[in-house]
Amino acid sequence: MNSVRWFAALLIAVALLAGTLSDTVRKNPPLMTGDYRVLAADFHVHSFPLSWATLAPWDTVLEAQRQGLDAIAITCHNHVWVAEVGRWFSHLIGGPTILVGEEIVTPTYHLLAIGIDHTIDWRQPAAAAIDEVHRQGGVAIAAHPLVKYWTAFDSNAMSKLDGSEVLHPLGYVWPLAYVQFQQFYARRRLTAIGDSDYHGLGPLGMCRTYVFARDDSPSAIVDALRAGHTVVYDHDGRSYGDPELIRLASQDQRFNPHQSDAPPPTLLVTLSRVTGVAGLFVLILFA
Amino acid sequence: MNYGTSKSRWSSDVQVMLRPAAAYQELAKLPDAPSNWLAVRRPLLFAFVLGCTVSFAASGRLTLRLVAPATIYAALIAVIEVLALAAVRARVSSKTSPSFSISLDLFFTGFGPWLLWLLSFAAFWAFASPVDAFRWTGPRWDLYVVGPLALWSGYIDFCFFRYVFHTTRWSAARDLLFQRGISWTLAAIIFGGGSLWSEIVRSLGI
- For A144-175, the pLDDT digits (tens) are 999 999 999 999 999 999 999 999 999 988 89
Q: Which of B49, B62, B124 to mutate to test the interface with A (most CBs of A within 10 A)?
A: B62
Handedness of CA A197, A203, A207, A213 (dihedral sign): positive
Percentage with pLDDT > 90 across chain A? 85
Q: Where are the beta strands (DSSP E) in chain A?
A: 31-33, 36-45, 71-77, 97-105, 110-114, 139-142, 163-167, 191-194, 209-213, 230-233, 239-241
- pTM of this structure: 0.94
Write out pLDDT tens, residues A53-68: 999 999 999 999 999 9
Query: Within 13 Å, how many C-alpha atoms sit on residue B71's CB side?
Result: 14
Q: Cα(A172)–Cα(A169) distance, rounded to whole angstroms?
A: 5
Q: Does A31 touch chain B (CB under 8 A)?
A: no
- Mean local confidence (pLDDT), A118-126: 97
Contact across the interface for A265 and B60, Cβ inside 8 Å: yes
Q: Which of A16, A74, A198 to mutate to test the interface with B (most CBs of B within 10 A)?
A: A16
In A, which residues are within 8 Å of B66 by CB distance? 55, 59, 63
The pLDDT of residue B94 = 67
- Mean local confidence (pLDDT), A229-238: 92
In whole angstroms, what separates CA A266 from the centre of its chain? 25
Phi-psi region of A237 (alpha: psi -120 to 50; beta: other; left: phi over 0): left
B3 has pLDDT over 60: no
- Mean local confidence (pLDDT), B30-35: 78
A residues 100..139 contacting B (CB < 8 A) = 103, 105-108, 122
Q: Cα(B60)–Cα(B126) distance, rounded to whole angstroms?
A: 4
State which residue of chain A sits closest to B49, comparing Cα positions.
A280
- Mean local confidence (pLDDT), B69-87: 96
Q: Does A9 touch chain B (CB under 8 A)?
A: no
Contacts 24+ apart (CB under 8 A), B137-140: B137/A201, B138/A173, B138/A174
Handedness of CA B144, B147, B150, B152 (dihedral sign): negative
Check: CB of residue A159 under 8 Å from CB of residue A132: no
From the CB of residue B185, how many other CB atoms can be counted at a distance below 10 Å? 13
In B, which residues are within 8 Å of A204 by CB distance? 58
Write out pLDDT tens, residues A248-261: 999 988 888 887 77
Whole-angstrom Cα Rg for chain A: 20
The pLDDT of residue A254 = 87
Any idea of the CA torsion for A202, A203, A204, A206, to the nearest 10 degrees?
Answer: -100
B7 has pLDDT over 90: no
Query: Within 13 Å, how many C-alpha atoms sit on residue A33's CB side?
Result: 21
Least confident of A7-11, A27-31, A85-89, A183-187: A27-31
Q: Confidence class of residue A192 from pLDDT cuts 50, 70 and 90?
A: very high
Contact across the interface for A272 and B61, Cβ inside 8 Å: yes
Q: Which residues neighbour A10 within 8 Å (Cβ) at sequence distance 6 or greater?
A: A279
In A, which residues are within 8 Å of B191 by CB distance? 48-50, 52-53
Q: Cα(B42)–Cα(A219) distance, rounded to whole angstroms?
A: 49
What letter represents residue A266's amino acid?
A: T
B6 has pLDDT over 80: no
Of A140, A129, A240, the residue nearest A183 (C-alpha)? A240
Q: Cα(A47)–Cα(A60) distance, rounded to whole angstroms?
A: 7
What are the distances in angstroms from CA B117 to CA A147, B49, B99, B137, B190?
Answer: 32, 11, 29, 11, 22
The pLDDT of residue B30 = 81
Contact across the interface for A78 and B194, Cβ inside 8 Å: yes
- Mean local confidence (pLDDT), A240-250: 95
The pLDDT of residue B1 = 41
Of A189, A192, A187, the residue nearest A153 (C-alpha)? A187
Q: Which of A197, A235, A272, A282 to mutate to test the interface with B (most CBs of B within 10 A)?
A: A272
The mean of the pLDDT values for chain A is: 95
Q: Cα(A194)–Cα(B81) distance, rounded to whole angstroms?
A: 38
User: Which residue in the set B14, B49, B191 is minimally distant from A280, CB to CB?
Assistant: B49
B95 has pLDDT over 80: no
Contact across the interface for A280 and B55, Cβ inside 8 Å: no
Contacts 24+ apart (CB under 8 A), B4-10: B9/A286, B10/A285, B10/A286
In whole angstroms, what separates CA B138 from the centre of its chain? 21
Q: What are phi and psi of A39, to 5 degrees?
A: -115, 135
Q: What are phi and psi of A8, to 5 degrees?
A: -60, -45
